[in-house]
Chain A
Amino acid sequence: MLLSLNWLKEYVNIPKSLSAEELAEKMTLHTVEVEGIEKEGEKFKGIVVGEILEVKKHGNATHLQIAEVNIGKTKLTIVCGAPNIAPGQLVPVATVGTIMPGGMEIKEAEIRGEKSFGMLCAEDELGLGTDHSGIMILEKAKIGQSLAEYLKLDDIILEVDNKSLSNRPDLFSHYGIAREISAFLDVKLNELKLKKIKADHGDKHAKLEKLDVKIEDKNLCPRYMAVKINGVKIADSPAWLQKKLISVGAKPINNIVDITNYVMLSIGQPLHAFNADVADKIIVRPAKNEELIDCLDNKERKLNNSNLVIANGEKAMAIAGMIGGKFSSVTAETENIIIEAATFNAYSVRKSSGALTLRTDASVRFEKALDVNLAEDGLMLAIELILEICPEAKIASEITDIKQDAPEIKEITFDLNWLEKLSGNKIEKKKATEILSKLGFIINADPESDNILNIIIPSWRATKDIKIKEDLAEEIMRIIGYDDFPIQVPFIKMAPAETNRDRMIERKIKDILSKENALSEVYNYSFVGEDDLKKINMDFSTYIKLANPISKQHTLMRQNLSLGLINNIKTNQYKYDDLALFEVGTIFLNVPGEFKKHNSSEETLPHQEKMVSIALAGNNDQLFSQGKSIVTNFLMSLTDLSVDVAFLPTDLIIGYADATEKAVINVNGKNIGTIAKIDANIGKSFGLKKDAVIIEMDFKDLLLLSFLENNKKYNDIPKFPPMVRDLAFVIDQKILYNDIRNEIKNFHELIKSVDLFDVYVGKNLGEDKKNLAFHIIYQSNDRTLTTEEIDEIQKNLIENLEKRFEAQIRNF
């Protein structure tokens, strides 16, 4: 919303000493943020009124003339191309250094050998019109006066964001803002002097029509006022009115429409003018389903019964509180009009405007819940202006006024001691009373008490905005200024803050992955799209859908983090040889979760949990192995060296996985995630140029594992020496390392650990064979082992491996 300072000054005495910037800052600190200040006068900086003293022919160009111009302080020589100049004329002169509205800078110039120190301006060059036939000739101007001053462009326009006024229907007008200014500057607010117009001008015998108005549901239209005015001559508005509208960005249309807009911008009541010859009847009713209306913005809209309309006997003439229809509008030929001043239900207008995706100056105001009393003020002001601007017009009907019972007057008992408790500062009764009075509240002091005020809320604040004592506290506190309230150190009961274990472990995970494992953290969107899911063979029918997605790639809620990471690889693959990334993020599953929708409902939100995922990419055949190292190291750090990590083959369907290089991560016997190489063809479908491995781990499993660090206990350093035997054997490729290792590890209690130190596959071993080599460490807690007993165990172990796995033992 744009506010004209001159317009505001009609209502409130703003001290001259206060600059626009100071006013804007005060408004920002007490009422609403002023987002911009535009000074009209600065538009024509450098352009002044000059008198042409002499016009000479240019020696070298037939179409150019040289003018001698007096601009008061000095005289200028200016080369000019326009034919209409003559001595004695007053013209706008752009002096050297002026930036023209079009952006051109005026410089000293030499034009065909003659020096020129400025420019004489045509209307179009100043952005004041379309005329380029000649230089603009000014009447009654003072030599040397600035053009802005001559045009009386001395206004300052303040800009306020509508969104920051969503709770204040009363501030969508100059008068409403003026009332605020009067409160925070503590200056006088001029009363709105509205004539109480009687349609019959006191003549009881005057023959007045009675308008045929019917309101179907008063809840949707708590007040409807209308009056018919005949003999209106549609024309352009007077200059003062046009200028006012233009200053705040409203386009002048004709006198009647301009008056309705002026009333809205002045006091906040939207009005509508109908062609009275069309509006033979006025019915406020819900639209019929599929009812069509051709609107003033040249769009046809299809309505349904959630849209309220103003109809005549046949069809809708306007969508209530939003926009008029074309056929019932006031045009150049219209003579008889009906002016509507109504109050429409805020909720209904808002819903209707949302459904039609149409927001107008009127609907923006109605949906904030307007005061029913404003309709009357609006109508009176409109009638007064119409009769003034169209002197031949006559009131032709009684003033229709259909309304719900007057809303109850609300009174709040307000305790200043409570205010002191809330604000932390004592506020005098006098001060509180003054502030509230300025804002229009009526205060009945309780004579028996120093601290109780009985406060009646003014109707324009009572629709929604002010209901409870806290609302009044804000009124008083903001007008005093939040910055004036002292800072106070709270007294708190000292107690250590409870630790949020989830968050603590999330942090630990991030620290380990970034600092120890040299992975970089990414954040990806929570959204995925069907096309990408198809590529990784995901069934997206179970994915949670957005009702209003922003783009086709972002329609569903992710169920794992892999897609984001695959796309991260693509983003970075040309700039880096190797990539190592991780993300800790929330996933959303379409099954009931732990959070209730409402504390009294059994329904729950979908299950949401965190996941920890890693992506590695590069052109090397060790990626899968590297991934396993990272997982193992990470889990060791997370649990403070308290786990046994294994990678087991799996039938699990991992949509993007290569058929062979995939495994589940098994920790102390429990599967906590997967590691898989991305299938080459799937990688290609994403445009990946590198091999990639994706690791996915469930956060809640990691959280459980993290508790293991609490069980950490020191083990005595063994007193007796270990004995190490190496064992290498050839076995079928299909037999898994993990099975062999477990077989050896569990073979005898003296076997303390089994370390794989070599894997070899080669033709010389035979088809489908591999050679595994282990260090087997024997150790006892209570004695030194003898060669003989280890030889015996080792012999049995070899026999067992030969039997179980058809292993062929190799000699060193």
Chain B
Amino acid sequence: MKNKLQELKKEVLSQIENIKNNELLHEIENKYLGRQGELGVILKNIKDLGDEARREAGQIANEVRTEIVSKIEAAKKALNKDQSVENLVDVTLPGASMKRGHLSPLTVVQKEMEDIMTSMGFIVLDGPELESDYYNFEAMNIPPHHPARDMQDTFYIDKKNKDGEYDMVLRTHTSSVQVRAMQKHGAPLYGIAPGRTYRCEATDVRHEHTFYQMEGLVVDKDINFGHLKYILELIGKKLYGPETKLRMRPKFYPFVEPGSNMEYTCFLCEGKGCRVCKHTGWLEIGGCGMIHPEVLKAGGIDPEVYSGFAFGFGLTRLAMLKYKIDDVRLFNSGDLRFIEQF
């Protein structure tokens, strides 16, 4: 048995040495290694041997097989080196395609904002999208028929309360979360509330009835206007780079006093003035101010002990600025040609 195997090995190796083409090599491979090949036939007889001899023969058979295989592979390589054109590998070909999924740019921007804020110790607050008139307006110091309601065209839910009035709305701002959060968590409170908001207005390139905002609020002892500026400037720098400057100008919001707008140096033109910033050099991002004492009171917090600030801005607007998206309707369009870019 042992001899037979050694002979076979010699025979094969000598044949391989003189081989000239792939077809012959393939023939040899089949003749010796194939299912009905000569090596196989020899191995079939192994089982008739005694235990000791069987183990020895098995070992040799394996060694012989391994050697033959490796010589054949080497011969193949040697042969094919000369036939380079036929077997050229175009390494520049793309890999097999793999499917990818994409997140909405709103998700991406919201995540970025949440990460900035939670890294500073802010908690993420929740509130309902279908909100009571009370939390959306009254608790925010906007009584019924207050002219400030003009600033926000509101979707009302078609269900009247016992006084015959609509008392439920689709929240017009994430500020509606403020009083709920104060009632739930009390002071001190450091929180943000990102989420979907609604305004009853016709859609076009720049207007959308469904959009995203993020509210931020801080309630603690000895909180002042300078602290508000600190947080806002920090957000601006995180979003638009270390050179970003903050500008604030008075703006009326019933739920803050003093009330302000927040603007950052336009990151597109670096403050020189361009189409996007309407040639002012400043991008209006949102509103802010010191929380109105009536709002703190509604939240069960004593304004003589605590003070706080709040700010809010459009995540939709941030995403539009970040990616230079010029049609707000794309966000809710479900158009993959848009989504696949993110």
Contact = CB atoms under 8 A, between A and B. Distances in A.
A588 to B, nearest CB: 6
Interface in A220-262: none
A490 B231 CA distance: 9
28 contacts: A166-B150, A167-B254, A424-B224, A425-B225, A425-B226, A468-B257, A470-B258, A470-B293, A474-B257, A478-B258, A482-B225, A492-B220, A493-B188, A500-B123, A500-B126, A524-B332, A525-B332, A546-B170, A547-B155, A547-B166, A550-B202, A588-B129, A597-B135, A597-B167, A597-B168, A603-B161, A606-B168, A608-B129
Contacts of B127: 595
A471 interface: yes
B60 interface: no
Nearest to B121: A497
B34 to A, nearest CB: 25
Contact of B101 (A515, A526, A576): A515
Interface in B178-228: 180, 183, 188, 190, 196, 198, 200-203, 209-210, 218, 220, 222-227
A168 B304 CA distance: 27
A422 B224 contact: yes
B172 interface: no
Contacts of A422: 224-225, 290, 307
Nearest to B191: A497
A351 interface: yes
Contacts of B159: 544-545
A596 B223 CA distance: 30
Contacts, number: 244
A605 interface: yes
Given A33-B249, A518-B99, A544 B130 contact: yes
Given A546-B157, A608-B130, A514 B103 contact: yes
Given A166-B151, A503-B114, A597-B132, A523 B332 contact: yes
B224 A523 contact: no
A502 B126 contact: yes
Interface centre among A520, A546, A579 (most CB of B within 10 A): A520
A580 interface: yes
Interface stretch (B8-16, B50-58, B333-341): B333-341
A526 B196 contact: yes
A801 B99 CA distance: 41
B317 interface: no
A599 interface: yes
B229 A485 contact: yes
Contacts of B104: 521-523
A497 B257 CA distance: 27
Contacts of B264: none
B129 A586 contact: yes
Interface centre among B101, B196, B209, B248 (most CB of A within 10 A): B101
Given A422-B224, A470-B258, A477-B225, A575 B336 contact: yes
Contacts of B125: 500
B195 to A, nearest CB: 9
Interface string B112-142: 0010001001111111111110110000000
Interface centre among A491, A492, A513 (most CB of B within 10 A): A492
What's the interface size class on A, roughly? Answer: 35 or more
Contacts of A487: 226, 229-230, 233
B190 A497 contact: yes
Contacts of B77: none
B170 A518 contact: no
A547 B126 contact: no
Interface string A11-31: 000000000000000001111
A168 B252 contact: yes
Nearest to A493: B188
Interface centre among A167, A496, A518, A608 (most CB of B within 10 A): A167
Given A347-B145, A482-B250, A514-B101, A525 B210 contact: yes
B168 A572 contact: no
A423 interface: yes
A148 interface: no
Contact of A486 (B130, B158, B226): B226
Contacts of A351: 145
A367 interface: yes
Nearest to A367: B147
A749 interface: no
A514 B53 CA distance: 60
Interface string A596-617: 1111000101101000000000
Interface string B87-118: 00000000000111111101100010010001
A541 to B, nearest CB: 13
Given A489-B230, A547-B155, A596-B132, 12 more contacts: A423-B226, A468-B293, A470-B258, A478-B258, A482-B258, A486-B226, A503-B126, A521-B339, A523-B332, A595-B127, A597-B168, A598-B132
Contacts of A423: 224-226
Contact of A546 (B145, B158, B220, B259): B158
A421 B220 CA distance: 13
A637 to B, nearest CB: 13
Contacts of A744: none
Given A500-B125, A525-B332, A568-B334, A519 B134 contact: no
B267 interface: no
Contacts of A525: 209-210, 332
Given A487-B226, A514-B102, A605 B131 contact: yes
Interface centre among B114, B121, B125, B260 (most CB of A within 10 A): B121
B230 to A, nearest CB: 5
By Cβ-Cβ distance, the 8 closest A-B pairs, closest first, are A488-B226, A424-B226, A474-B258, A568-B334, A514-B101, A424-B224, A518-B99, A482-B248
A367 B222 CA distance: 37
Contact of B336 (A491, A494, A576): A576
B333 A571 contact: yes
B100 to A, nearest CB: 6
A444 B229 CA distance: 32
Given A30-B250, A164-B252, A548 B101 contact: no
Contact of A586 (B99, B196, B254): B196
Interface string B317-338: 0000000000000011111110
Given A473-B258, A513-B101, A522-B104, A485 B210 contact: no
Interface string A503-515: 1000100110111
A518 B100 contact: yes
Given A422-B307, A548-B155, A522 B334 contact: yes
B123 A581 contact: no
